[in-house]
Amino acid sequence: MIGDFNPVQSLSLTVVTSQLVIQGTLRTRLRHLTDVLNEPDCKHLILFDATFMEIGSRRVVADAVVAEIQVDDLLFLHTNDTTESAQALRTPKQAISTILLAPPFTIEGEIHLPMETELHQALGAFEERFVPVTNARYWAYGVAESPNHVDLLVVNHVRAHVAVPSGVVWKTDGPAGMGSRGSGSNPW
């Protein structure tokens, strides 16, 4: 695995489930948080120095030196530090303003869809387990969670509904000189 050649890095994370906000540190050799979560055998995350809090009140319900977090239970997560966008070339993608509903949370930001002729085709073609949302804002007023702004939010695809607002423009051509398929930058 390519990750075996990278040095171990520590990522300070905020993990959100439907009932808990968990803060802790993930140690990984993979360069991107989305790579960690989209690994086919990723069933749980091991966090170090984890604090478990109730949504809304943020009352601490548990502290742990080491904790296992079930990936299927995640609504979304983000790093607590500034995220630098990677310039690694992958497939071209188009940023599109989107609203994601992961009850009780609402998330606004940009998702990056593959270049397709029609928006519905691009949305249908996105099949990753976790959806990266850049320039994100999330909140849950019903449970007293005020808006938070983060550079990169990673949302559990099976736990979220994706809504593209009216007026969003979909470009049918790929990046200049590449046609509809080719190399492009990857913000995560």
pLDDT of residue 115: 83
Query: Are residue 151 and residue 115 in the same domain, yes or no?
Result: yes
Is 164 contained in some domain? yes
User: What's 126's DSSP letter?
Assistant: -
- The pLDDT value recorded for residue 89 is 42
- Are 97 and 162 members of one domain? yes
- If asked whether residues 106 and 154 sit together in one domain, one would say yes
Whether residue 93 is found in the same domain as residue 181:
yes
Give backbone dihedrals phi and psi of 42, rounded to 5 degrees, phi first: -80, 100
User: What local confidence, expressed as pLDDT, does residue 85 receive?
Assistant: 53
Helix (H, G, I), strand (E, B) or coil at 171: coil
Domain range enclosing 60: 2-79
Q: Are residues 163 and 131 in the same domain?
A: yes
- In angstroms, how far is CA 153 from the centroid of its own chain? 4
Measured distance CA(63)–CA(48) in Å, rounded: 10
In this structure, what token pair is assigned to residue 160?
């979220």
Q: What is the pLDDT of residue 125?
A: 82
- pLDDT at position 180 is 41
Residues 69 and 132 occupy one common structural domain? no
Do 107 and 167 lie in one domain? The reply is: yes
pLDDT at 184: 43
Flag residues of the chain having pLDDT under 70.
Answer: 1-4, 83-90, 173-188
Task: Extract the tokens encoding 74.
Answer: 């995640």
In a domain, residue 75? The reply is: yes
End-of-domain residue from the set 44, 59, 79: 79
Shared domain check, 164 and 93: yes
At residue 83, the pLDDT reads: 60
Domain check: are 95 and 38 in the same one?
A: no
Supply the pLDDT for residue 30: 86
Distance CA 131, CA 110 (A): 10
Is residue 84, in this structure, part of any structural domain at all?
A: no
Query: pLDDT (tens digit, 9 = 90+) per residue, 71-86?
Result: 999 999 999 887 655 4
74 and 102 part of one domain: no
- Any domain includes 163: yes
Residue 17 is assigned to a structural domain of this protein: yes
The answer for residues whose C-beta is within 8 angstroms of residue 124's C-beta and 6 or more apart is none
Q: How many domains does the chain have?
A: 2
pTM as predicted: 0.82
Query: What pLDDT score was predicted for residue 161?
Result: 93
pLDDT of residue 173: 63
Q: Which of 31, 51, 79 is the last residue of a domain?
A: 79
**Residue 177 falls inside a structural domain:** yes
Co-location of 30 and 99 in the same domain: no
Collapsed DSSP state (helix, strand, coil) of residue 72:
helix
The CATH number of whichever domain residue 22 belongs to comes to 2.30.30.100
Taking Cα atoms as reference points, which of 33, 24, 28, 34 lies closest to residue 7? 28
